[in-house]
């Protein structure tokens, strides 16, 4: 997903009543109570009640009314509240006992005191949809801030019967829905744009709400998340059919929006582990933490195959070869979804960004971006072989949703010049994904993705853009702020015949099926039973292991690693003690930020826990004082897509930035980083350099002076995992998920290239002892033989190591070993 960009971080408050179809609301909404009965002086006491109280048919509803004193302590004067049942969709006397009364709050009553109103409903003899009994509160002594309503739950209908198959439940529910209700299910709004007016969920019958990057409740705690989402869910269940919301969030390397969540290495680090069982276990942990806050859906994993590391989303990819992205992408889906989607530790997964987003051509990016949201200029055969295999694997793993890319595809088969946005690409979304591959989940658009379908317009989404997107095969539309406009225009397009009934029914059926499978009709509200495990020691241990296995030892001259904890250490570099830098983008906010972004352990803190004699100087200005080992931690500062593109625009809109643009992104070490490496490596006999980054950083010029070089990627919150391999608590096992280029001027290098000559090849990774497989023994022996400490790996050896690793990923171990044997002979 692409979250809030630029000034759009400042959410606009929702409300454009003129866009709401009155006829549509009449068929969708049970009851939308007014916010107050009259204006009142600021110092007056306030009376309120829950907006919705649910009750089973034939039972008695208890509506709680609360009084708040003006001074927050006690009432200065008595407050009398009159109440009466009103006229809603339920019929007085037949469905409930019409009644009225008064509530008394004497002077001196404590602020927050509650009184109850009881309303008796009449049991019906047949199944019914939900019905509403509005309750009117009036008082001359206080301001009434909220009017309540009683909702008699839908009951006795086939779609509510969990004993029936999902297919039968969907069919029964679908035939009861109006076009307005169906369009509502296809509409997704952003949290901030419905928080101030949650009744919009009821009015439009919205199918989904999401949180963009950095969009959190005012109090960023698990309980506050669950409370907020339950509040939205209450509004969804106040509709006549009581179709629950599905709430989505970008848990791309942990529940990154939640303060205190366990944050994993980004996908590029997980790609280095080559460990599908670990990836599945890690994402299972993420699913548990996400669902414990009331969220049953994640926009992950990204199964893109990154072919140009200048792309700002490189770290969201498992690697440059489809075999690696396929194996680990499928493992991630399995981890997220588990065996049962209705489990309290499962979330619906989303394979993204379909298709070719890691394969776009540099210079074709959207707007100021250099490569992100650009054009994949490839043949159909290339896309079939490189970009689509991870989706085949994700589909086999049962992924529940797929998200199209912002990018376009321009087939070289018929000549360049006619690119098609993926959000408009019926050939791939409907033809390949749904028809050829048999995908039976639903397709969710990216953030305002259809707004980029030409022709562009100031009032997007236009009817043409909506119609094109729906007919291309998109089922649900992420319209964070323009959800009302989308709903109105799609409904009109259906009524005008521009979108067929079968296409709408297909889309809605897919969405409803996911909600049934998630168990939302039976348990729509947050299951908080696992909230205490969020950020727990057990969860952090899983992440710590993932960090250790993600570390790739690129060079280890004079057996500099593992380190001896009895030695003295001089630690330098801006990424040594910065949790935000090591977590990267999609942490805390969309683009992430430097500093204390959440709770965790920095790499420096991990080193200090492993050794007694540690000196830290971020810029290496402090004297080295004869330290035995220098450890320099350099690399990148946080970014996400677009603003992470090399040569792209510079982000400056997080509060931590203070309006100052971040450094321009580059494939080379920043000058300050290079200076620290050069200083420490010149003054200390043993010099270890860690590169904390979302993609390779070119340091060919510094390679000669470095004794041990480690690709640490973006490890997340558990920096102690880096120390684990540095000090030999765990051995280095990581292998490069992408080729490490020699030059920033020519950084595009991928396994299989005709003239393949990286500094370190795909699949490269030294070890620090321990038992290993016969294949790895041969690989390690070849690596030790061919590595030149000043110039890296020669091309012939690079090709052998990379192609052998691909063969191993594809399940051809004998072939992989044979390739290494020939190269070493």
Active-site residue list: 446, 641
CB 736 within 8 A of CB 693: no
Give the three-class secondary structure for 808. Answer: helix
DSSP secondary structure letters along 393-453:
HHHHTT--EEEE-SSEE--GGG-SS--EEGGG-HIIIIIIIIIIS---SEEB--TTGGGGS
CA angle 647, 391, 734 (to 5 degrees): 65
445 contacts: CB under 8 Å, gap ≥ 6: 403, 404, 423, 469, 474, 476, 477, 478
Give the three-class secondary structure for 820. Answer: helix
Q: Is the dihedral of CA 273, 276, 281, 284 positive or negative?
A: positive
Residue 40's closest CA among 137, 111, 146, 140?
A: 140
Pairing between β-strand 79-85 and β-strand 131-138 as defined by DSSP bridges: antiparallel
Residue 610's closest CA among 601, 618, 621?
A: 601
C-alpha 653: how far from chain center: 20
Distance CA 813, CA 140 (A): 82
CB 634 within 8 A of CB 711: no
H or E element that contains 297: strand 297-298
Residue 540's closest CA among 261, 220, 249, 269?
A: 261
> Angle at which helices 774-786 and 795-809 pack, to 10 degrees?
160
Distance CA 708, CA 685 (A): 12
Residue 130's closest CA among 509, 526, 527, 521?
A: 521
CB 473 within 8 A of CB 429: yes
């Amino acid at each position: 997903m692409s979250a809030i960009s630029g000034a759009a971080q400042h959410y606009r408050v929702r409300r454009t009543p003129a866009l709401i179809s009155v006829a549509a609301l009449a068929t969708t909404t049970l009851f939308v109570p007014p916010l107050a009965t009259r204006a009142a002086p600021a110092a007056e006491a306030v009376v309120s009640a829950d907006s919705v109280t649910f009750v089973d048919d034939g039972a008695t509803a208890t509506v709680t009314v609360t009084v708040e004193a003006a001074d927050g302590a006690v009432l200065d004067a008595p407050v009398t509240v009159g109440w009466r049942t009103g006229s809603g969709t339920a019929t007085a006397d037949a469905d409930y006992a019409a009644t009225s009364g008064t509530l008394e709050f004497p002077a001196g009553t404590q602020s927050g005191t509650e009184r109850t109103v009881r309303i008796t409903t009449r049991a019906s003899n047949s199944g019914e949809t939900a019905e509403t009994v509005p309750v009117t509160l009036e008082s001359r002594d206080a301001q009434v801030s909220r009017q309540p309503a009683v909702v008699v739950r839908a009951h006795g209908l086939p779609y509510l019967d969990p004993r029936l198959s999902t297919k039968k439940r969907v069919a029964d529910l679908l035939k009861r829905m109006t076009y307005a209700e169906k369009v509502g299910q296809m509409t997704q709004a952003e949290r901030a744009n419905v928080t101030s007016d949650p009744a919009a969920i009821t009015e439009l019958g919205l199918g989904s709400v999401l949180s963009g990057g950095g969009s959190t409740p005012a109090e960023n705690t698990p309980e506050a998340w669950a409370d907020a989402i339950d509040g939205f869910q209450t509004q969804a269940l106040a509709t006549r059919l009581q179709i629950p919301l599905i709430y989505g969030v970008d848990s791309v390397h942990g529940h990154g929006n939640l303060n205190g969540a366990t944050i994993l290495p980004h996908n590029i680090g997980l790609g280095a582990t080559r460990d599908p069982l670990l990836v599945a276990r890690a994402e299972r942990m993420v699913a548990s933490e996400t669902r414990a806050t009331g969220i049953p859906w994640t926009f992950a994993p990204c199964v893109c195959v990154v072919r140009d590391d200048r792309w700002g989303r490189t770290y969201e990819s498992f690697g440059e070869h489809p075999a690696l992205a396929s194996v680990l992408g499928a493992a991630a889906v399995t981890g997220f979804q588990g065996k049962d989607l209705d489990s309290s530790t499962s979330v619906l997964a989303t394979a993204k960004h379909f298709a070719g987003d890691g394969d776009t051509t540099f210079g074709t990016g959207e707007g100021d971006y250099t490569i992100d949201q650009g054009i994949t200029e490839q043949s159909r055969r290339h896309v079939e072989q490189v970009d689509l295999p991870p989706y085949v694997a994700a589909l086999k793993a049962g992924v529940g949703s797929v998200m199209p890319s912002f990018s376009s595809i321009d087939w070289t088969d018929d000549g360049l010049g006619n690119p098609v946005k993926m959000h408009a690409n019926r050939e791939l979304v409907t033809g390949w994904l749904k028809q050829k591959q048999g995908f039976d989940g639903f397709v969710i658009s990216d953030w305002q993705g259809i707004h980029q379908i030409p022709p562009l317009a100031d009032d997007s989404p236009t009817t043409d853009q909506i119609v094109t997107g729906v007919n291309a095969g998109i089922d649900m539309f992420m319209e964070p702020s323009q959800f009302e406009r989308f709903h109105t225009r799609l409904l009109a397009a259906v009524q005008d015949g521009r979108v067929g009934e079968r296409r709408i029914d297909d889309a809605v059926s897919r969405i409803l099926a996911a909600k049934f499978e998630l168990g939302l009709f039976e348990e729509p509200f947050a299951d908080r039973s696992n909230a205490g495990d969020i950020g727990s020691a057990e969860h952090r241990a899983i992440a710590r292991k993932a960090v250790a296995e993600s570390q790739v030892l690129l060079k280890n001259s004079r057996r500099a690693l593992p380190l001896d904890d009895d030695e003295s250490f001089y630690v330098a570099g801006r990424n040594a003690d910065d949790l935000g830098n090591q977590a990267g983008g999609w942490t805390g906010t969309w683009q992430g930020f430097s500093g204390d972004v959440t709770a965790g352990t920095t790499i420096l803190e991990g080193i200090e826990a492993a050794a007694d004699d540690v000196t830290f100087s971020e810029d290496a200005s402090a004297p080295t004082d004869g330290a035995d080992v220098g450890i320099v931690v350099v690399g990148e500062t946080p970014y996400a897509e677009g603003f992470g593109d090399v040569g792209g625009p510079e982000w400056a809109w997080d509060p931590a930035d203070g309006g100052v643009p971040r450094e321009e992104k580059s494939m080379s070490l920043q000058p300050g980083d290079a200076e620290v490496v050069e200083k420490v490596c010149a003054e200390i006999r043993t010099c270890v350099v860690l590169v904390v980054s979302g993609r390779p950083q070119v340091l060919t010029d510094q390679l000669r002076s470095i004794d041990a070089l480690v690709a640490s990627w973006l490890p997340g919150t558990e920096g102690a995992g880096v120390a684990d391999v540095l000090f030999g608590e765990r051995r280095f096992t990581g292998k490069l998920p992408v080729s490490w280029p020699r030059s920033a001027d020519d950084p595009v290098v991928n396994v299989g290239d005709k003239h393949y000559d990286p500094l370190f090849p795909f699949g490269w990774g030294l070890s620090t002892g321990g038992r290993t497989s016969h294949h790895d023994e041969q690989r390690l022996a070849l690596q030790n033989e061919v590595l030149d400490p000043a110039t890296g790996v020669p091309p012939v050896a690079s090709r052998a190591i990379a192609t052998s690793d691909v063969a191993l990923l594809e399940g051809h171990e004998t072939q992989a070993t044979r390739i290494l044997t020939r190269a070493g002979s």
